[in-house]
Amino acid sequence: MSHDDLSQHPQHPAFPDDPAFPDGFVTDPYHRVPPPDDLGDVDERFVFDFRSYDDLGDGQRWSTWLSVEPLCRGPEPLPDWVVTSQGAIDTELGVLKTGKEADVHLVERADPLDPAAGVVMAAKRYRSPEHRAFHRSASYTEGRSMKRSRDERAIKRKSTFGRQVAAGEWAVSEWGALVRLWNLGLPVPYPVQIDGTEILMEWITVVDEDDAVRTAPRLAQTRPSPELLAAYFEQLTDALATMVQNGLVHGDLSAYNILAAGERLVVIDLPQIVDLVGNLNGMTFLQRDCANICGWFRSRGLDVDEHALFAELMAHAF
């Protein structure tokens, strides 16, 4: 039976319970669609505004927020500054920092039709194995397990596939650390999303004397007052205590991977985070973190002792 014959058969005999087609039912696929001001009783759920976007320019891409898996997006609740619009565009703004294993870029994510809601984020991009110089990686990965034993065997054999897996290993490790520490309420950048070897995260900033926004300086670049210095050390002690209570050690903590955002500190660079008990070097890494931190604070005039700090953290751990 053709579509043209349907109007002659309000109820097909093979389906007697089917409802009859209403009067005026249109089967022509090219039937004229009424203009927006003549929609009549059309359900509002099927009405939407069509908005067109210009083509992308150099150094731009469509937002990858919706193209990654839900578990690759930041923890709920999302901060109100996170842009989730499907029409948002990521624009490269330049390199913020280069490192041994990754480079950090600045990326603006904004919807061209709502530019005021845009945000600038830090994009940490890990290099491929042949362009990385991350040292002592074996001591950091001691005790870690991978989801697939095939991947773990390939990394140990250093095969071509294993090198490809290793390229994303550190990015995944840092993403997991950021999500876990953020959920614990610790001072780390909010992790927006991970896509392969790229992590988008909160850009930690300060406002200078000219009201210009710039990247927060590293703790090593600051000269805080005695009062602020003591407050900084107390913040770090609390953060380290929370970490060891949850069996975690930064593993490479120093004044160079802590940002001073005004009166608060933010811990960064977390790919080498280790398990305090599961890693055979966990205690050694914690002792070294204490020594690095206390050494810097002593150099600024604060009387602190790494052995006392380590003992205090052990009291929190066990």
Annotated domain spans of the chain = 57-131+148-203, 216-317
Residue 118 has pLDDT above 80, yes or no: yes
Q: How confident is the model at residue 131 (pLDDT cuts 50, 70, 90)?
A: very low
- H runs (alpha helix) in 123-280: 137-141, 149-157, 160-183, 226-245
CATH fold for domain 216-317 = Transferase(Phosphotransferase); domain 1 (1.10.510)
**Arithmetic mean of pLDDT, 31-51:** 64
Q: How confident is the model at residue 38 (pLDDT cuts 50, 70, 90)?
A: low
Residue 239 has pLDDT above 70, yes or no: yes
Compare 277 and 79 and report the one with higher pLDDT: 79
Question: Which positions ≥6 away from 87 have C-beta within 8 Å?
Answer: 51, 53, 63, 111, 112, 113
Closest CA to 106 of 117, 118, 97: 97
Residue 161 has pLDDT above 70, yes or no: no
Written as six digits, the tokens of 273 are 């985070």
pLDDT at position 151, please?
46
Residue 155 has pLDDT above 50, yes or no: no
Lowest-confidence region among 36-40, 111-115, 154-158, 245-249? 154-158
Q: Give me the amino acid identity at 157.
A: R
CATH fold for domain 57-131+148-203 = Phosphorylase Kinase; domain 1 (3.30.200)
**CA-based angle 192:195:201, to the nearest 5?**
25
pLDDT at position 101, please?
84
Q: What percent of the chain has pLDDT over 70?
A: 73
Closest CA to 286 of 252, 239, 242: 252
Q: How confident is the model at residue 100 (pLDDT cuts 50, 70, 90)?
A: confident
Q: Which residues pair with 275 in a beta bridge?
A: 248
